[in-house]
Amino acid sequence: METNNHSIETKNLNLWYGDFQALMDVSVNIPAGKITALIGPSGCGKTTLLRCFNRVNERYGNVTTKGEIKILGKNIYDPDVSLLELRKTVGMVFQRPNPLPISVYENILFGLRIHSPFGSLTRNQADEIVEEALTSVFLWDDLKDKLKVRATSLQLEQQQKLCIARLLPLKPQIILMDEPCSALDAKGTLAVEELMGILAGKYTFLIVTHNMAQARRVSTECIYMFLGELIEHRETQALFETPDHPKTADYVQMRYG
């Protein structure tokens, strides 16, 4: 199903908020099973681009999108695409940890419950799924006695990991992350980054970050955007050490930003 090992392919993607053009002719291929970072100054369209990939943008009205986005070889603007399935395949982690204000246990099952017929989940299955999801984000030992605790009362780092964990039962292919560590301290950031490193390979990660050190640490490929345009897309090391484009060089060497 995957073509040329690219999870996401866009062709001449343009996007407007009202009259303001936020994305200009963005054509990009995101490799499968790797971590790709999106960097660039504020307001350059990183988050907008990210939000296109599971069509969360559409909820805000006043958005016009032109161009093509293929996810796993399928154009997501085709009329037969179900938003439900799309969002199951493409999970999203937000800037501020946003667990739902229900218990840890229910948080992890919420996605699964809305995607499976009512009552089809037995108690044993549910328990297993919760344990598996929490184990894969290394939260099980901390939280196994706190499953009934309201998720919003956890530490921020745990909340963010929980937000990743609740995507996993849906078996997503791609996980989008919008500055996942900006609300976390150094320890939390490290924990989330390690987690990404371990989960990469199984999932395709696309991460927006303002932190260039982070982009350098975690990603294998890196995309630099400026004012809605894609300036450069290369392997991370190459982009940071020998940038092709003078604008990229300005940014990564902190002359601009």
Partner 1 sequence: MNRSELIIQIIALATLIIACVLVWILTTEVFHVEGDILSVPMDLDSESDLIDRLYRMIPLLCVAMLLSIAFAFYIEEWLSETTWYYRIINQHISILANIPSLIYGILVVCIFLFQVGKFSNFTLVLAIVFLVVPVTIQTTQSAIRGVDLSVREAAYALGANRWQVITDHVFPRAFPKITGGVFTVISRVLAIAVLLIIVCELRTSIIQDVGSYEISSNVFVLISLALLSCVLSSFLQK
CA-to-CA dists, residue 191 to 51, 52, 137, 185, 196, angstroms: 24, 27, 9, 10, 9
The C-alpha atoms of residue 99 and residue 97 are separated, in whole angstroms, by 6
**Residue 111 sits in the site that holds partner 1 (CB under 8 A):** yes
Amino acid at 210: H
Pick one of 28, 167, 192, 225: the residue that binds partner 1 (CB under 8 A): 167
The C-alpha atoms of residue 27 and residue 13 are separated, in whole angstroms, by 6
**Residue 114 sits in the site that holds partner 1 (CB under 8 A):** yes
Pick one of 77, 83, 242, 257: the residue that binds partner 1 (CB under 8 A): 83
Q: Which stretch binds partner 1 (CB under 8 A): 81-89, 135-143, 182-190, 247-255?
A: 81-89
The C-alpha atoms of residue 233 and residue 87 are separated, in whole angstroms, by 25
**Residue 166 sits in the site that holds partner 1 (CB under 8 A):** yes
Q: Which stretch binds partner 1 (CB under 8 A): 97-105, 140-148, 186-194, 210-218?
A: 97-105
Cβ atoms of 7 and 30 within 8 Å: the answer is yes
CB of 237 to partner 1, least distance (A): 31
Q: Output 177 or 252, the one with its CB closest to partner 1.
A: 177
Q: Counting every residue, how long is the chain? A: 257
The C-alpha atoms of residue 31 and residue 178 are separated, in whole angstroms, by 18
Q: What residues make contact with partner 1 under the rule CB under 8 A? A: 54, 56, 59, 61-62, 83-88, 91-92, 94, 96, 98-101, 110-111, 114-115, 163, 166-167, 170
